[in-house]
Amino acid sequence: MTQVKQRLPISEAAQILDVSIDTLRRWDKSGVIRASRSPRGHRLFDLDEITRVIAKQQSRSTGQGERSFTIYRDDNRHGLRAIDLFAGGGGTALGLDHAGFDHILLAELDPHASATLRTNRPDWNVIEGDVANLDFRPYRGEVDLVEGGFPCQAFSYAGHSRGFADTRGTLFFEFARAIQETMPKAFIGENVKGLLRHDRGRTLATMCNTLQAITDENGVGYTFGYRVVRSQYHDVPQKRERLIIMGVRNDIGSTLYFPKERGYIVSLWDAIGDRPQSPGATYPESKRRVLEQVPPGGYWRDLPVEEQQRYLGGSFHLSGGKTGMARRLSWDEPSLTLTCSPAQKQTERCHPEETRPLNIREYARIQTFPDDWEFQGGMGAAYKQIGNAVPVNLGYYLGKCVEAMIDEAAVAANADFIEAAREEEYVQSTM
């Protein structure tokens, strides 16, 4: 006999959890606890889920519970070979490595990031310099995957959304050239969610047209599509949305796979509750005094009005764009999206209890780098490499998707990590 689940309205659930209704709405949005909807659209919360959240909070507060944090890594290697472009500090490359891929080339312009790759993986073939100077034709027939997180600043609002007018935006065409010259079995492109709307969708349309034009001498091209992936549902303790483009060569397969969302999230406490020690940024006394007044999960609105006005200055009277200011993270939720600095005024990432920015190792944990991954170039360079990275666990999920696209026999084995693309996620040919 199927047991009927007891579902409670948001007011009752908030009372049981001893949180505000607004907090519960935020938890639902971030995945701390998931709500269903009544026929009239009202949130309903599963009593069992409420019990789970309470138990986790109690185990954290008493210090007696176990943290649930896993960096996935396979023992067996399938031997698929990858080229990694714009490799940065190694987030995607390491995730793919953990999923069994061998790297035959990693291209990176930044000398500090290149040093990080060489230090941690001396056997990787790291080419430091402008990707435009690389000839990929010798790798044709030797590579299964071309992967590239072409620089996203040109398409992000923080980077002023200049797109192809920015020289970083043109690096997409180097990614496409690498695919054309090597004709891999599959490819992955990664960028910010803002690419969907950039230039009213024309930028993404140009990219899709470019990818559709790639064929070999026999006219064989690629089936590809895209999805916005939410990292917090892929064993990453961070709310980080990215646009993922997946493609498979038409003579290899026709089914695309994307990372499958889990039914749980990894909280900040799971990731850094043991307070890993490392160098880190600090606050000036004036800023520390302000953030001392902000509770866990709070931000500038939790300050006294006079303090709000002093801290925000001219921004106080502006609408929108201020939710990251004077922001203290919460133990019970994933971190907000990490940026290249943990102490920027617009994107504050203050530790949940201690009044300080997250340190380098905490930053790396949140991006699911293992603790033995060493970042080169000093503190500022380390924060930049980590903040720009694709989370390692997300890279692992993507590797599982590619393996399934290339080898149908791998679909069942990777079922926990992958799901077939929906029809509307495929890019329809216009050629």
By annotation, the residues acting in catalysis are 152
18 contacts: CB under 8 Å, gap ≥ 6: none
Enter the DSSP assignment of 4: P
Rounded distance, CA 408 to CA 412, Å? 8
The dihedral of CA 45, 51, 54, 55: what is its sign?
negative
Rounded distance, CA 140 to CA 138, Å? 6
Q: How many CB atoms lie within 10 A of CB 154?
A: 25
278 CB-side CA count, 13 A: 23
219 CB-side CA count, 13 A: 1
| Residue closest to 281 by CA, chosen among 134, 190, 167, 386 | 386
| Residue closest to 252 by CA, chosen among 216, 222, 208 | 222
The dihedral of CA 105, 106, 110, 114: what is its sign?
negative
Rounded distance, CA 11 to CA 20, Å? 9
Rounded distance, CA 401 to CA 408, Å? 11
- Furthest-apart CA pair in the chain: how many Å? 70
Cβ contact 188:229 at 8 Å: no
